[in-house]
């Protein structure tokens, strides 16, 4: 149970609004200063941000969690360095294709049980296997490690 002084309730409420908006990736949130002005909050943006950090600490939350797109972006940066046998392809079009495949996977309710990194690794593995037959046995160990299996 947490207790707060009455004078901080408005600051806590605005901080919680900012945190809620940050957890929804699609949400466009105004600046903390704009929120403070629009809500007629008596606390400064610095105080609101400080309260946000306090709330995160009390709840032991870390707002940054990697998304499947983060993993896909990491892979896309190293993709040009993969074996030269790969056919030349426009990198942005290739990433767009992989992104579309990832979106289809994430929309499938049966795949929700898997971590985003696992989905990306499977997509990349299938793409490599398509382009370089025999690649799958090489990456099987990584797949097992990413799912926590031995």
Residues 66-77 pLDDT 10s: 777 887 777 777
1: in domain: no
**Beta-carbon neighbour count of residue 18 at 10 Å?**
20
CA distance 5 to 23: 26
Do 86 and 141 reside in the same domain of the chain?
A: yes
Do 72 and 48 reside in the same domain of the chain?
A: no
Q: Is residue 133 classed as helix, strand or coil in its secondary structure?
A: coil
Q: What is the count of structural domains for the chain?
A: 2
H-helix or E-strand spanning residue 146: helix 136-146
Q: pTM to 2 decimals?
A: 0.46
Do 43 and 114 reside in the same domain of the chain?
A: no
CA distance 143 to 122: 7
CA distance 36 to 82: 49
35 close to 19: Cβ distance less than 8 angstroms: no
Q: Does 84 have pLDDT greater than 50?
A: no
Do 92 and 23 reside in the same domain of the chain?
A: no
Residue 1: both structure tokens together: 């149970």
Residue ranges making up the domain that contains 118: 68-147
| Averaged pLDDT, 35-48 | 89
* Cα 120-76-86 angle, rounded to 5 deg: 100
Residue 115: both structure tokens together: 């971590």
Do 87 and 140 reside in the same domain of the chain?
A: yes
Q: What is the pLDDT of residue 12?
A: 92
38: in domain: yes
Residue 107, burial from CB neighbour count under 10 angstroms (0-12, 13-18, 19+): exposed
């Amino acid at each position: 149970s947490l207790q707060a002084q009455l004078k901080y309730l408005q600051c806590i409420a605005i901080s919680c609004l900012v945190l809620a908006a940050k957890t929804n990736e699609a949400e466009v949130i105004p600046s903390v200063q704009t929120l403070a002005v629009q809500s007629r909050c008596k606390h400064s943006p610095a105080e609101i941000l400080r309260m946000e950090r306090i709330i995160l600490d009390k709840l032991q939350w870390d707002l940054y969690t990697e998304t499947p797109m983060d993993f896909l972006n990491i892979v896309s940066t190293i993709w040009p360095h993969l074996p030269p046998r790969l056919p030349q392809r426009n990198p942005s079009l290739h990433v767009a294709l992989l992104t579309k495949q990832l979106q289809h996977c994430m929309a499938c309710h049966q795949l929700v049980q898997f971590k985003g990194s696992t989905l990306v690794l499977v997509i990349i593995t299938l793409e490599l296997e398509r382009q370089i037959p025999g690649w799958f046995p090489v990456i099987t160990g990584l797949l097992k490690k990413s799912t926590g299996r031995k």
